[in-house]
Amino acid sequence: MDEFIYIYFCVLSAAFGAVFGSFCNVLIYRVPRGESVVKGGSHCTSCGQPIKFYDNIPVVSYIVLRGRCRHCKQKFTPRYFIVEVLCMLLWLGFALLAKRFGYVYSICCMGVSLCVVAVAFTDYENGYIPDRYNVVIAAFGAFLCVYGIFAETYVSWQSRLLGLAFSVLFYGGAYAVSKWIFKREGIGFGDVKFMAACGLFLGIKAAFVATLAATITASAVLVTLSVRRGEKKKEYPFAPFLGAGVIIAAFVGEIAANAYLALF
């Protein structure tokens, strides 16, 4: 019976992941434009025609219509498809974690992953992180903290508070140093708030792994870009890398950190 619930939970999570990925696309488009995220149906951004429900099925519609508007045939940005598939896979992945970390942690990870994806793409497209996502991530972190006081959790509530402290000191410090010493923002203050919220959610060990993973991916990608295009001094959004680090850490951060610490 437990096995049945687990499999059912995984299948359902993948389906809802795609649906919420679709909502995530709405957030990415509308939040920076100051539009309501609940009112008003979807429209083609090119011809303005409302998109019918049967053309708005996550993942499927994009493939059926080959990424084009049914009316004006204008190509939609591939970001719609990428975000829907990404959220579907992330939710499936976090559902699979339920066996090891429990359903509560899995569901919280799903909520946080939506915010992280929205943050990564909003920062990539608009160059800033809307505060509301940080508030939601921090709320999930605070909930797990309180939950951890009363119930057995894989990551203790003390670890989550330390994760918050680590992120504030590390990212706040990096922000202050780059601003006051180098007279430019190495990382944005939005990045600091984002990682503070994620630190509370992840706990100290996973927050450290997230930082390590973000630094490695950022260095690898930026070095490749600068070698290939010879670009320099262009400002790159940092949140996509931080987001990738946070997602990796949410999956394997605690396990990786414990395995590493066991070596000593």
DSSP H helices in the chain: 2-30, 60-64, 79-101, 103-126, 131-150, 157-180, 189-202, 204-229, 239-261
Nearer to Zn ion, 50 or 173 (CB): 50
45 binds Zn ion (CB under 5 A): no
Q: Which stretch binds Zn ion (CB under 5 A): 13-21, 67-75, 138-146, 213-221?
A: 67-75
**CA angle centred on 215, ends 214 and 220, rounded to 5°:** 100
Check residue 68 and report its DSSP letter: B
How many residues form the binding site for Zn ion (CB under 5 A)?
A: 6
Choosing from 28, 69, 92, 162, the residue that interacts with Zn ion (CB under 5 A) is 69
44 binds Zn ion (CB under 5 A): yes
Q: Which stretch binds Zn ion (CB under 5 A): 72-80, 188-196, 197-205, 246-254?
A: 72-80
Coil, strand or helix: which one is 43?
Answer: strand
Least Å distance between CB 62 and Zn ion? 14
Best CA proximity match to 148, nearest among 137, 133, 134, 161? 161
Choosing from 30, 71, 99, 179, the residue that interacts with Zn ion (CB under 5 A) is 71
72 binds Zn ion (CB under 5 A): yes
Contact present, 87 and 26 (Cβ < 8 Å): no
Least Å distance between CB 69 and Zn ion? 3
Residues lying near Zn ion in the complex (CB under 5 A): 44, 46-47, 69, 71-72
